[in-house]
């Protein structure tokens, strides 16, 4: 079984995270496969736009708690060379997130790196970094405030509350909510519209948007990495993950169809 399923629809490449039994949590295998798939899509001249989604019932539950318990700090070391979470924001090609279900913590950071998000009516979102006992390091504090505002971003990060699809639309986290069976088709349709624009023009447009946001995102990313490096205790990671695993699992399971 491939950790990431790849399908081309004309000039649109659809990448599907494929660990449905684990709510597409980021295991070492999925981290490596997704990072490679994102790089490959960006380098392929035939690909003009990318859609990123998950195999039902979740988009991405973020950190794989079992693997993090087992591997400790070594689990996070993989992100030093294969950071699939931050790679979405580094894509030169336009990338649309098709959010089909639960999108938590690192999964939310990954989604925030997309150019925009379309959500299923089954989608739910949460930043549970603080509840897990770690600090964000993949752009949460850099990108979430740009979509929902500073106060709402702080509220979501500090409380860890779960946001459903309709509320996500109201606060600006997603651009559209569609019935679940229509999600993939709608995301591919939008990506197809993007792909119709001449590639040099679209590349320039994306560069303008990214450059304009860099004044905010770059300092926030640097702060995340510096503070997280000091505040996180790798030796204590396993115990903290065990303490929250059951609670988070219940939230995620409750979001599926």
Does the structure show a pLDDT above 50 at 236? yes
Residue-wise pLDDT tens digits, 174-204 = 999 999 999 999 999 999 999 999 999 999 9
Both tokens of 257, joined, read 């169809």
Residue 105 lies in a domain: yes
Residue-wise pLDDT tens digits, 72-117 = 888 889 999 999 999 999 999 999 999 999 999 999 999 999 999 9
Residue-wise pLDDT tens digits, 208-223 = 999 888 877 888 778 8
Does the structure show a pLDDT above 50 at 255? no
Whether omega before 57 lies within 30 degrees of 0, making that bond cis, reads yes
So what's the pLDDT on residue 257?
34
Residue 203 lies in a domain: no
Residue-wise pLDDT tens digits, 129-164 = 998 888 898 899 999 999 999 999 999 999 999 999
CATH of the domain at 99: 3.90.226.10
- The residue-averaged pLDDT of 229-249 equals 57
Q: Which residues are CB-contacts of 22 (< 8 A; sequence separation ≥ 6)?
A: 61, 64
- The residue-averaged pLDDT of 9-36 equals 98
Task: Look up the pTM and report it.
Answer: 0.91
Both tokens of 94, joined, read 């336009």
d(CA 85, CA 89): 8
Are 62 and 25 in contact by the 8 Å Cβ rule? The answer is yes
So what's the pLDDT on residue 223?
84
Residue 221 lies in a domain: no
Residue 250 lies in a domain: no
**DSSP secondary structure string for all residues of 106-172:** HHHHHHHTSSEEEEETT-EEE--HHHHT----SSHHHHHHHHH-HHHHHHHHHH---EEHHHHHHHT
Which range of residues forms the domain containing residue 62?
Answer: 4-196
Residue 89 lies in a domain: yes
Residue 223 lies in a domain: no
Residue 253 lies in a domain: no
Rounded percentage of the chain residues whose pLDDT exceeds 90: 73
Domain count, the chain: 1
Residue 217 lies in a domain: no
Rg (CA), the chain: 17
Handedness of CA 177, 181, 183, 189 (dihedral sign): negative
Q: Side by side, which strands form the sheet with 176-178? A: 4-9, 12-17, 49-54, 95-99, 116-120, 176-178
């Amino acid at each position: 079984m491939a950790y990431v399923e790849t399908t081309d629809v004309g000039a649109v490449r659809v990448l599907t995270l494929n660990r449905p039994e684990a709510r597409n949590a980021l295991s070492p295998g999925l981290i490596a496969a997704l990072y490679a798939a994102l790089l490959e899509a960006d380098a392929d001249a035939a690909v003009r736009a990318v859609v990123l989604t998950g195999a039902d019932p979740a988009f991405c539950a973020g950190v794989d708690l079992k693997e993090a318990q087992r591997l400790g700090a070594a689990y996070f070391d993989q992100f030093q060379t294969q950071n699939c979470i931050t790679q979405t924001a580094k894509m030169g090609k336009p990338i649309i997130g098709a959010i089909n279900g639960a999108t938590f913590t690192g999964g939310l950071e990954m989604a925030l790196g997309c150019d925009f998000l379309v959500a299923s009516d089954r989608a739910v979102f949460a930043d549970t970094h603080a509840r897990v006992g770690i600090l964000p390091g993949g752009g949460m504090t850099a990108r979430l405030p740009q979509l929902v505002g500073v106060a709402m971003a702080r509220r979501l990060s500090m409380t860890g509350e779960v946001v459903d699809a309709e509320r996500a639309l109201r606060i600006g986290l997603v651009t559209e909510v569609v019935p679940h069976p229509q999600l993939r088709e709608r995301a591919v349709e939008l990506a197809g519209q993007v792909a119709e624009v001449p590639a040099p023009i679209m590349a320039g447009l994306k560069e303008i948007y990214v450059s304009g946001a860099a004044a905010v995102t770059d300092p926030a990313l640097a702060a995340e990495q510096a503070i997280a490096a000091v505040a996180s205790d790798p030796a204590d990671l396993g115990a903290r993950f065990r303490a929250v695993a059951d609670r988070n699992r219940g939230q995620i399971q409750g979001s599926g169809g």
